[in-house]
Amino acid sequence: MSTYEDILYDVKDGVAVVMLNRPDKLNAWTAAMQASVKRAVVDAANDGNVRVIVVTGAGRGFCAGADMGGLQRIEPGKWNERELARADSSIDVPRSKLGPDVSEHYTGRFGYLMSIGKPVIAAINGPCAGIGLVFTLYCDMRFAAAEAKFTTAFAQRGLIAEHGISWLLPRLTGTAHALDILFSARKFSAEEAARIGIVNRVFGQENFLRAVLDYAKQLATTVSPRSMAVMKAQVWKSLFQDLTDAIAIGDAEMQKSFATQDFKEGVAHFVEKRPAKFTGH
């Protein structure tokens, strides 16, 4: 198991929880945090006991964006060197062998999340800004606490839409909403985030993490991990496909599914009226 800095990591009931852990700084993003998050996600991907990964924040915030100390030290002419150093290329990310390969499409700082063959859920417990918001868009789903606030922040720092948010955000919200929250850098609520498609669902503040973990546990215990891995790859791949290609991959993957243990178990537990015991095979 890896050692981590600026995060906490725990596994229970088939769910790995990666918690950003700089609560006194509203979990402002650091290079150490980035490397640790990546290591933790890779550890979860390689752990046969983990079926779902949840990323959340300690204290009252999810992530306040980039640590201002780091921003003040940036040298413009060396920005690309800095980004390459922060890519953590030494961390070997396992690519899912199930479904189509998506790694060629999703690169950069957070693209590895799409190649992980397990659902990655962002549990946004509080303020979520800048690079923190970008990170959540690379997750498969996003749930927000009722009191969470969001902002892209970039335009108010004299910066631009970074790390692929200009591609991801409009695909969730549509162009007009994406440009509104990018241009204005205004703060918006969890309710608005749900209305325009950034988050899947809003849960009450008091029992927020429990509600997200209950959903994650449902995925971990009641559905086929193999099915989730294939469907995740299908959906992320489809953004670079036409309908004919998506149908062809779906047909091929369905044929493979019929020969799996999870398919047999899926039918058996339904007929026998008992809880499923999926193995991922």
- pLDDT tens digits, 31-41: 999 999 999 99
CA geometry: angle 170, 176, 179, nearest 5 deg: 75
Domain residue ranges of the chain, discontinuous segments joined by +: 7-220, 224-271
With a cut of 90, say whether residue 2 has pLDDT above it.
no
Q: Can you give the pLDDT at residue 3?
A: 86
pLDDT at 1 over 90: no
> CA-to-CA distance for 144 and 166, rounded, in angstroms?
21
**Which pLDDT score, from 0 to 100, does residue 87 have?**
53
Residue 7: beta bridge partners? 20
For 235-262, what is each residue's pLDDT tens digit? 999 999 999 999 999 999 999 999 999 9
Q: What are the tens digits of pLDDT across the range 55-75?
A: 999 999 999 999 876 554 555
pLDDT at res. 71 = 55
* Tokens of residue 22, six digits: 């700089």
Other beta carbons less than 10 A from residue 107's beta carbon: 13
Compute how many other C-beta atoms are within 10 angstroms of the C-beta atom of residue 25.
17
Q: Which residues of 128-158 are buried (b: 16+ CB within 10 A; e: fewer)?
A: bbbbbbbbbbbbbbbbbbebbbbbbbbbeee
Contacts of 180 (CB under 8 A, 6+ apart): none
Chain-centroid distance, C-alpha 268: 32
* pLDDT confidence tier of residue 90, bands split at 50, 70 and 90: confident
SS3 280: coil
Q: How far apart are CA 247 and CA 228, in angstroms?
A: 18
* CATH fold of the domain at 7-220: 2-enoyl-CoA Hydratase; Chain A, domain 1 (3.90.226)
Across all residues in the chain, what is the average pLDDT?
92
- Residues whose CB falls within 8 Å of the CB of residue 151, separated by 6 or more in sequence, listed in order: 128, 129, 130, 133, 181, 185, 186, 187, 188
Measured CA distances, 41 to 25, 144, 158, 237 (Å): 22, 20, 32, 21
Q: What is the mean pLDDT of residues 92-97?
A: 85
* Residue 125 reports pLDDT greater than 70: yes
- pLDDT in the model for residue 198: 98
Residue pLDDT, tens place only, 142-167:
999 999 999 999 998 889 889 999 99
What was the pLDDT predicted at 257?
95
Confidence of residue 268 (pLDDT cuts 50, 70, 90): very high
